[in-house]
Amino acid sequence: MKNIWTVARKELRTYFTSPIAYVIITVFLVLVGFFFYSLIWWFNSQSMQMAQNQYYYSQLNINQQVFGPLLHNQSIILLLMLPLLTMRLFSEEKKIGTEELLYTSPISITQIILGKFLASLLVLLSMVALVGLLTTFAFVYGNPEIAPVLIGFLGLFLMGAAFLAIGIFFSSLTENQIVSAILTFGALLLFWIINWASNSAGGFWKDVLNYVSFFQHFDNMTQGILDTTDLIYYLSFAFFGLFLTHSVIQSRRWR
Amino acid sequence: MIAVERLTKKYGDLTAVRDLSFQVEKGKIWGLLGPNAAGKTTTMRILTGYLPATDGKATVGGFDIFEQPNEVKKILGYLPEVLPLYPDMTVTEYLGFIAAIKQIPAAKRKEAVARAVKSAGLETTKGRLIKNISRGFKQRVGIAQALVHDPKFLILDEPTIGLDPAQIIEIRQLIKSLRGEHTIILSTHILAEVTQTCDGVVIINEGRLMASGSLEDLTASVRKKEVAVLKIRRGLQEAAEAFRAIPGVEKVNRDDGEIRIEWKPGTDPRDEVVRLCVEKEFGLLELRPLTFNIEDLYLKIVSGGAEQ
């Protein structure tokens, strides 16, 4: 555990002594802030119009009409940004030759991987937490239900964690950061939209394609549905990514 | 002690190290000498646990590198050929990180870093970012990194590569000052490095062991005769004839205005040579011994004529 934290602290220092973390967090907040503002403004104008009609007015739901789209927007931004957060984690070590140092030190490969994962996870957590802070305005001036919002943010965080694990895997494959980022982005997008193919597939494959796609699980959570299937999906996805990373590093040394 | 037994490493079809065995005694500095691509770096990478061997055995301080890699890694310091530095850290931050991953308890890290900084002569640069310091200081940071956990064993891959002559001397001094406390293997393709810093040498070529032993033993094995070279002003022909008559002299050659005299070890005809020069007025300009050394052995080996 101590070793994991040592590696994580070193990565966090790199994130926060260079502009990387600040730029990513700031751009994320600006974009999400804009979406939040637009959604609230739209919801507000809808409320004004619907106020005349009792039935329509009762149909308005801030959870569904503001938080749902907001979480979906964020997930797309994360899809674009998180590969940039993970691209250097292993590529850089390989490129500048420091991996030789890490692998000849008395710490295990698992500890190195988990340390790097933990550091990126903490940056992700700060992104999600700051957005959470931003959305408290909705609670001050409105009365959304809190539980679905929290579940939605949990879903966002877990999906981000899975993204990071995939990014770490691609980072361990190449010493070129750009290649690592593009491969990660491609893989994530593919897993995002793979359920489109389920329309043409039938029976068993339809279920499989729907299950492996990020979208379905995330959509459940944005609606405030907390299902263990979805939790297990994200956790196993993250585990799978890290496990593959371990195999890649291990096998390269034995070749 | 570092012991290597029948070590073999293959990369696919390419055999980088073949059946290599040698031993380094405690407290000594040994050089791993060979031309480029001889298998020096591969051997060192195996000893440090970075690469697994295809076959064979290696122990460092009694621990098997394949069975107990973590025990070995705790007592071993390693300077890879490519300096493993993080450019965006300061020297102190960097050494602190190394101390932590080498399992030095948090309370003792400061002390360990200060000691490494001192022994590598980094006091003036310790607060600067690594990317901003000169090549010579980077090399020192590399050495400090290998020393930070006070390892009993040090493996240094080309420790003086890319340095200017003054820096090379400094780094050699530094390495020599570690003798006794540390058992060191350093790799090099520079002969002077071995003769000036090492107690013994392992010569490899194309992954095979060509010779190994202490410097004295190896030089003694090649020194079967002694040679001196003489330069005179005049009477080359006459002088050669005269020298040939001196007892003990085995061979006299004239070569490019110089005379080369070989004689059996134990006899020394040089007094007689000088006396003759003065007597017959040859005008002696220069008389220098030509000792067979590690260089001859090395050149002989790498040029193909392997000889144990």
Are residues B44 and B30 part of one domain? yes
What is the strand order of the sheet B14-24 is part of?
Answer: B14-24, B2-11, B55-60, B63-64
The tally of domains found in chain B comes to 2
CB contact under 8 A, B93 and A103: no
Mean pLDDT of B267-283: 85
Are residues B278 and B255 part of one domain? yes
Are residues B236 and B214 part of one domain? no
Q: Does B68 map to a domain? A: yes
B30 three-class SS: strand
| Shortest CA distance from B83: residue in chain A | A97
CB contact under 8 A, A100 and B80: yes
State how far residue A95 is from chain B, nearest Cα, in angstroms: 10
Q: Does B305 map to a domain? A: no
Mean pLDDT of B7-11: 88
Q: Does B83 map to a domain? A: yes
Region of poorest pLDDT, from A9-13, A191-195, A244-248, B130-134: A191-195
> How far is residue A66's CA from residue B227's CA, in Å, rounded to a whole number?
95
Question: CA-CA-CA-CA torsion for B93, B95, B100, B101, nearest 10 degrees?
Answer: 120
Would you list which residues of chain A are within 8 Å, Cβ to Cβ, of chain B? 3, 6-7, 10, 13-14, 17-18, 96-107, 253-255
Are residues B237 and B112 part of one domain? no
Q: Does B298 map to a domain? A: no
> How far is residue A85's CA from residue A117's CA, in Å, rounded to a whole number?
11
Mean pLDDT of A52-70: 82
Q: Residue window 51-90, chain B: list those with CB within 8 Å of chain A.
A: 51-52, 70, 73-74, 76, 78, 80, 82-89
What share of chain B in percent tops pLDDT 70?
Answer: 95
CA distances in angstroms from A158 to A165, A181, A182, B53, listed in the order given: 11, 20, 21, 40
Are residues B94 and B144 part of one domain? yes
For the cut 80, the answer to whether the pLDDT of residue B301 exceeds it is no
Beta-carbon count within 10 A of A246 CB: 18
| Shortest CA distance from B72: residue in chain A | A106
CB contact under 8 A, A100 and B84: yes
Are residues B200 and B118 part of one domain? yes
CA distances in angstroms from A187 to A81, A117, A190, A221, B128, listed in the order given: 14, 18, 5, 22, 40
Mean pLDDT of B229-255: 84
Mean pLDDT of B202-216: 85
Confidence bin at B223 (pLDDT 50/70/90): low
3-state secondary structure chain A: CHHHHHHHHHHHHHHHHCCHHHHHHHHHHHHHHHHHHHHHHHHHHHHHHHCCCHHHHHHCCHHHHHHHHHHHHHHHHHHHHHHHHHCHHHHHHHHHCCHHHHHCCCCCHHHHHHHHHHHHHHHHHHHHHHHHHHCHHHHHHCCCCHHHHHHHHHHHHHHHHHHHHHHHHHHHHCCCHHHHHHHHHHHHHHHHHHHHHHHCCCHHHHHHHHHHCHHHHHHHHHCCCCCHHHHHHHHHHHHHHHHHHHHHHHHHHHC
Q: Where are the alpha helices (DSSP H) in chain B?
A: 40-47, 69-75, 91-101, 106-119, 135-147, 165-177, 191-197, 215-222, 236-244, 270-280, 294-302
Are residues B269 and B144 part of one domain? no
> How far is residue B29's CA from residue B155's CA, in Å, rounded to a whole number?
10
Average pLDDT, chain A: 90
pLDDT tens, residue by residue, B93-108: 999 999 999 999 999 9
Confidence bin at B305 (pLDDT 50/70/90): very low
CB contact under 8 A, A103 and B11: no
> How far is residue B56's CA from residue B53's CA, in Å, rounded to a whole number?
7
Of B52, B82, B102, the CB nearest to A97: B82
> How far is residue B73's CA from residue B25's CA, in Å, rounded to a whole number?
19
State how far residue A113 is from chain B, nearest Cα, in angstroms: 14
For the cut 70, the answer to whether the pLDDT of residue A32 exceeds it is yes
For the cut 50, the answer to whether the pLDDT of residue A72 exceeds it is yes
Quote the pLDDT of residue B214. Answer: 83
Quote the pLDDT of residue B293. Answer: 65
Confidence bin at A109 (pLDDT 50/70/90): very high
CATH of the domain at B246: 3.30.70.100
What is the strand order of the sheet B76-79 is part of?
Answer: B76-79, B153-157, B183-188, B29-33, B200-205, B208-214
- Say whether pTM exceeds 0.90: no
The answer to whether B3 and B23 are in contact (CB under 8 A) is yes
State how far residue A240 is from chain B, nearest Cα, in angstroms: 25
| Shortest CA distance from B48: residue in chain A | A104
Confidence bin at B291 (pLDDT 50/70/90): low
B64 three-class SS: strand
With tokens 């700051």, the residue in question is: A130
Task: Provide, for chain B, the percentages of residues in helix, strand and coil under a 3-state DSSP scheme, each rounded to the nearest 5.
Answer: 35, 30, 35
> How far is residue B286's CA from residue B135's CA, in Å, rounded to a whole number?
41
State how far residue A83 is from chain B, nearest Cα, in angstroms: 21
Q: What residues contact B231, with CB distance under 8 A and at least 6 apart?
A: B257, B258, B259, B284, B285, B286, B287
Q: Does B148 map to a domain? A: yes
State how far residue B50 is from chain A, nearest Cα, in angstroms: 6
Quote the pLDDT of residue B224. Answer: 64
Are residues B100 and B157 part of one domain? yes
Confidence bin at B308 (pLDDT 50/70/90): very low
B233 three-class SS: coil
The answer to whether B220 and B31 are in contact (CB under 8 A) is no
Q: Does B295 map to a domain? A: no
State how far residue B83 is from chain A, nearest Cα, in angstroms: 7
Residue ending a domain, among B219, B242, B268, is: B219
> How far is residue B127's CA from residue B90's CA, in Å, rounded to a whole number?
6
Region of poorest pLDDT, from A43-52, A96-105, B73-82: A43-52
Are residues B269 and B199 part of one domain? no
Pair of tokens at residue B65: 């590198």
> How far is residue B236's CA from residue B272's CA, in Å, rounded to a whole number?
16
Domain that holds residue B44: 2-219
Instruction: In chain A, count H helices and then E strands.
Output: 14, 0
For the cut 90, the answer to whether the pLDDT of residue B135 exceeds it is no
Q: Does B306 map to a domain? A: no
Mean pLDDT of A1-27: 92
Confidence bin at B282 (pLDDT 50/70/90): confident
Pair of tokens at residue A169: 């895997």
> How far is residue A165's CA from residue A185's CA, in Å, rounded to a whole number?
12
CA distances in angstroms from B200 to A181, B5, B10, B30, B299, listed in the order given: 49, 18, 27, 5, 17
pLDDT tens, residue by residue, B158-186: 888 878 888 888 888 888 888 888 899 99
The tally of domains found in chain A comes to 1
CB contact under 8 A, B74 and A97: no
Pairs across A and B, CB distance < 8 A: 66
Domain that holds residue A150: 2-254
Q: Does B304 map to a domain? A: no
**Which position has the higher pLDDT, B261 or B264?**
B261
Are residues B77 and B101 part of one domain? yes
**Chain A interface includes B101 (CB < 8 A):** yes
For the cut 80, the answer to whether the pLDDT of residue B295 exceeds it is no
Are residues B150 and B56 part of one domain? yes
pLDDT tens, residue by residue, A138-183: 888 878 888 889 999 999 999 999 999 999 999 999 999 999 999 9
> How far is residue B232's CA from residue B282's CA, in Å, rounded to a whole number?
6
Pair of tokens at residue A36: 């939040």
> How far is residue A29's CA from residue A154's CA, in Å, rounded to a whole number?
18
What share of chain B in percent tops pLDDT 90?
Answer: 27
Mean pLDDT of A80-101: 93
Beta-carbon count within 10 A of A192 CB: 18
**Chain A interface includes B50 (CB < 8 A):** yes
Quote the pLDDT of residue A255. Answer: 63
Are residues B170 and B252 part of one domain? no
